[in-house]
Chain A
Amino acid sequence: MSLHTAPVRPLRHPAWHDATVVAVAPETPNAGRLVLDVPTWPGNDPGQHLDLRLTAEDGYQATRSYSIASAGDGTRITLAVDRVEDGEVSPFLVDAVEVGDSLEVHGPLGGWFVWRPDVSAARPRPVQLIAGGSGVVPLLPMVTAHAEAADPSPFRMLYAVRTPEDVFFRAELDAALALADRAPFTLEVVYSRQSPPGAETPAGRLTRDRLAASVLPPEAGALVYVCGSTPFVEQVLRWLGELGHDVTEVRAERFGGA
């Protein structure tokens, strides 16, 4: 069973680090991008996450876990945060944080939902990424690292969003597509509520048939990563199993309740 053998021992020891916000920008109408400068950051692998802690003037603290949208040895970290209605932390991060603000991060965390380039692999293993909404955040650094390393593993991403303006990381995904001749990468975006003008396929929820047509077939033996809300991930995993994929191998990350 794969869960016995697959965790990757983390390369870098997690610790608390002081961070300064160096850039903020809207990512989508409902999400913001933050770039943090963390001078003591040891770097992180694609797919890892961190804990982010805010401290009020009276000492009250709130901590949340966020996937990291960047990877590598640098000391700049990119986060993309969805605004959770009625949330305590995410609306602050999306709407109120300014350049120069201080906060703390603890990480890098996670040794399971990670992918590292390996340009020396004798037989590159295909990778299938499946994202729902902001579930694309930990998958983007895998795509970026793959492109930057010119890793020969075939990469495919299926990305389910509501409308074109809900797509995260459009420029980064386009950059990876532009490098697809040396780092094979294909992207299919499924729009559930509204398609872009001129789209061949009308908007509609992801179905099992659409999933089957888009993802690498079971015989490709791909490493599969799925990230999104709990209902999205549960549905996708059920369909993958019905389509003959070995779901015991799939790496999944969920957010929210059942």
Chain B
Amino acid sequence: MASFTRGFGGRRRDVDDSKVPPGQTLVHDWPVLSAGATPEIEPSEWSFSIRTESGLHSWTWDEVRALGLEDVTVDIHCVTHWTKLGMGWRGVPLDKLFAEVETSLDFCMVHSFGGYTTNVPLDELLEGQAWIAFEADGEPLTPEHGGPARLLVPHLYFWKSAKWVRGIVMHAEDEPGFWENAGYNMHGDPWKEERYW
């Protein structure tokens, strides 16, 4: 380990360390990280699509929500070193959407309104690991936090949980998205500190 910094004691932590990945600090507010402007999208103009080798599969706002909303409580970890524990979310698991789609392609490029992209392997979006989220802490998602709908992939750093999500394009290879092109890790596991290249 590196040498210590003279005089730095740090704040003694009052939480269960086992829930806070290395290099992270607990926050109680909810910081906003975005690369550009915040798009304003009405639910009536929102839809979600998955493009596979067989074509495009699309759902409207009502169709996605009709697949079955779940309430989940998860911890979120941002690469900028904050962690927020025990957040309540409401959303539709991606399992429900992929149950209606057949694909042999293994890699997802997630696309957002505004042009943001991020890559996630398909097997990390299934089996209850990811949701299209509409509410956080009991309130509809605000535009700053990705409303009306964002991806929620809490086991990866939060830049993978794309705000203003609009669809997924399936690929045979794992290709970098927006931040992954700009120096951030292709995978992003907070417990392995997969932050950068």
Determine if chain A interacts with chain B: yes
Q: How far is the CA of A162 from the CA of B115 in the complex (A)?
A: 34
Residues in B neighbouring A60, C-beta threshold 8 A: 9-10, 12-13
Minimum Cβ distance to chain A for residue B31 (Å): 5
Q: How many residues of B contact A (CB 8 A)?
A: 42
Contact for B182 among A112, A252, A255, CB less than 8 A: A112
A9 within 8 A of B: yes
Q: How far is the CA of A29 from the CA of B126 in the complex (A)?
A: 51
A110 within 8 A of B: yes
8 A Cβ contacts from B123-169 to A: 142, 144-145
| Contact present for B23 and A63 (CB under 8 Å) | yes
Contact for B10 among A88, A102, A103, CB less than 8 A: A88
Chain B interface, >50% SS class: loop
Contact for B5 among A14, A101, A240, A248, CB less than 8 A: A101
Contact for B11 among A88, A96, A110, CB less than 8 A: A88
A8 within 8 A of B: yes
A59 within 8 A of B: yes
A166 within 8 A of B: no
| Contact present for A250 and B37 (CB under 8 Å) | yes
Residue of B1, B7, B36 most packed against chain A (CB within 10 A): B36
| Contact present for A102 and B3 (CB under 8 Å) | yes
Q: How far is the CA of A72 from the CA of B196 in the complex (A)?
A: 21
| Contact present for B29 and A63 (CB under 8 Å) | no
| Contact present for B29 and A62 (CB under 8 Å) | no
5 A-B Cβ contacts within 8 A?
A: A60-B13, A92-B8, A111-B182, A237-B37, A256-B31
CB-CB under 8 A for A54 and B8, given A7-B181, A14-B197, A63-B81: yes
| Contact present for A254 and B32 (CB under 8 Å) | yes
| Contact present for A111 and B31 (CB under 8 Å) | no
Chain B 16-44 interface mask (CB, 8 Å, partner A; 1/0): 00000001110001111111111000000
B6 within 8 A of A: yes
| Contact present for A257 and B25 (CB under 8 Å) | no
Q: How far is the CA of A64 from the CA of B10 in the complex (A)?
A: 13
| Contact present for B2 and A18 (CB under 8 Å) | yes
Residues in A neighbouring B4, C-beta threshold 8 A: 55-57, 59, 102
| Contact present for A9 and B182 (CB under 8 Å) | yes
Q: How far is the CA of A94 from the CA of B92 in the complex (A)?
A: 45
Minimum Cβ distance to chain A for residue B192 (Å): 15
| Contact present for A111 and B181 (CB under 8 Å) | yes
A123 within 8 A of B: no
Minimum Cβ distance to chain A for residue B95 (Å): 28
CB-CB under 8 A for A55 and B25, given A255-B31, A256-B32, A257-B32: no
A241 within 8 A of B: yes
Q: How far is the CA of A56 from the CA of B29 in the complex (A)?
A: 25
8 A Cβ contacts from A60-74 to B: 60-65
Taking A3-B36, A112-B35, A237-B36 as known contacts, 19 extra A-B pairs with beta carbons closer than 8 A to each other, sorted by chain A number, are A3-B114, A3-B116, A13-B197, A18-B2, A51-B23, A51-B81, A55-B4, A56-B10, A62-B11, A97-B7, A102-B2, A103-B5, A109-B196, A234-B32, A237-B38, A252-B34, A252-B37, A254-B31, A254-B34
B80 within 8 A of A: yes
Q: How far is the CA of A88 from the CA of B10 in the complex (A)?
A: 6
Residues in A neighbouring B182, C-beta threshold 8 A: 7-10, 110-112
From B2, which residue of chain A is reached at the shortest CB distance?
A104
A247 within 8 A of B: yes
Minimum Cβ distance to chain A for residue B167 (Å): 14
Minimum Cβ distance to chain A for residue B83 (Å): 11
A182 within 8 A of B: no
From B30, which residue of chain A is reached at the shortest CB distance?
A257
Residues in A neighbouring B59, C-beta threshold 8 A: none
Residues in B neighbouring A252, C-beta threshold 8 A: 34-37
